Amino acid sequence: MKNLWIYGCCLLVLLAGGCAEEAGGKVLRLAHGLDTSHPVHRGMVFMAERLAELSGGELTISIYPNNQLGTERQCLELLQIGSLDMTKVSAAVLENFSPEIAVLSLPYIFRGREHVYKFQDSPLGREMLTTSEQYRLRGLVYFDAGQRSFYTKDHPVNVPDDLKGEKIRVQLSATAIAMVKSLGGSPTPISYGELYTALQQGVVDGAENNPPSFYTSRHYEVCKYYTLDEHTAVPDVLMIGTEAFARLSDREQTWLQAAADEAVTYQRQLWQEAEQEALDAVEAEGVQIIRPDKGPFIEQTAPILEGYRDQPRLYSLIEQIIAMAPENEG
């Protein structure tokens, strides 16, 4: 079935536009699972427009949103076999390809937006984008995906004890699973596309995500409590297959990186606006917004970070990232 799916997606990509070489220039095909109203999708549209301008139309991007060519994991597999050029994935999904990237999903390694941006724009942040190249995957930039917080159906979460015994949907991520366990919850990996129904039917009691995703998914229709504990700041990562990247000339690679970098600045502003709009909108729909004391959450999840002491390379990365925290966010 997996091979049949890959064959079908490859055929769809080919039918959608032929090979990457087209009359008038090259076309990069970018697929992802987001809705077209999402700030990250809009950032990628901006990137495509800028790339066309910078290259004079010699290099362009065709975007396939809404899981048209598969899930995040499936799109990564298409990149690896060279049947798709680019995709957007959560850094949590990249854990299986890069142990270094996994540290970005650790709870409270980032203490706020300024800290996140400082890391992403640093040489260390740039270097980490290339750590999955041995798996034929290369990161180009990070897109802002905000900070993730808990939302629940039946009662608010004010302190970690309120999560005890609660079935909380998480991404298929070892660090996300460990984080929910450390807070007393029962982590339950479920596909994002199946989550609304799982919440309705009581398969899970809650989930965790950023405000725009909570809003655009309409999960607020089921979950009326949103606790802004902001436990993780897992970025989205714009990926290109190493095979597709190698097919580009040095000049084309420069155009693509420049367009992606410009899109980051644009998307960050979009994200901040979307975040506030989402919070206002869900509150208007009857969701109770809880702003808890983060101290107990930080204290209870701290052993997860300490658990990396026996992995010197990863613990060094953790220490370097934490040291970047601005004084007002430390």
CATH 3.40.190.170 segments of the chain: 2-146+234-277, 150-231+279-323
User: 188-208 pLDDT, tens per residue?
Assistant: 999 888 999 999 999 999 999
How many Å apart are CA 132 and CA 143, to the nearest integer? 17
pLDDT of residue 42: 96
Predicted pLDDT at 23: 55
| Right CATH for 2-146+234-277 from 3.40.190.170, 3.30.1330.60, 3.90.1150.10, 3.40.50.20 | 3.40.190.170
Under DSSP, the state recorded for 259 is H
Residue 81 has pLDDT above 70, yes or no: yes
DSSP class per residue in 50-101: HHHHHTTTSEEEEEE-TTTT--HHHHHHHHHTTS--EEEEETTGGGGT-HHH
Query: For 149-174, how does the pLDDT look when each residue is reduced to its tens digit (9 = 90+)?
Result: 999 999 999 999 999 999 999 988 88
Note whether 229 and 210 are within 8 A (CB).
Answer: no
Q: Cβ distance 87 to 34 under 8 Å?
A: no
Binned at pLDDT 50, 70 and 90, residue 330 comes out as low
How far apart CA 179 and CA 188 sit, in angstroms, is 12
- Match 């999904």 to its residue by tokens: 93
Nearest alpha carbon to residue 285 among 200, 205, 229, 226: 226
Q: Is the pLDDT of residue 242 over 50?
A: yes
- pLDDT class of 216 with cuts at 50, 70, 90: confident
Output the pTM of the full model. 0.86
Tell which residue, 152, 174, 175, has the closest CA to residue 165. 152
* CA distance linking residue 60 with residue 17, whole number of Å: 12
C-alpha span between 128 and 131 (Å, rounded): 5
Domain 150-231+279-323: which CATH number of 2.40.50.180, 3.30.2010.30, 3.40.190.170, 1.10.3720.10 = 3.40.190.170
Q: What are the C-alpha distances in Å from 75 to residues 29, 33, 41, 239?
A: 11, 9, 15, 10
CA-nearest of 90, 20, 65 to 245 is: 20
Judge whether residue 275 has pLDDT over 50: yes
What are the beta bridge partners of residue 287?
none
- Say if residue 312's pLDDT is above 70: yes
Band (pLDDT 50/70/90 cuts) for residue 35 is: confident
Q: Does 49 score more than 60 pLDDT?
A: yes
Instruction: Say whether pLDDT at 13 is over 70.
Output: no
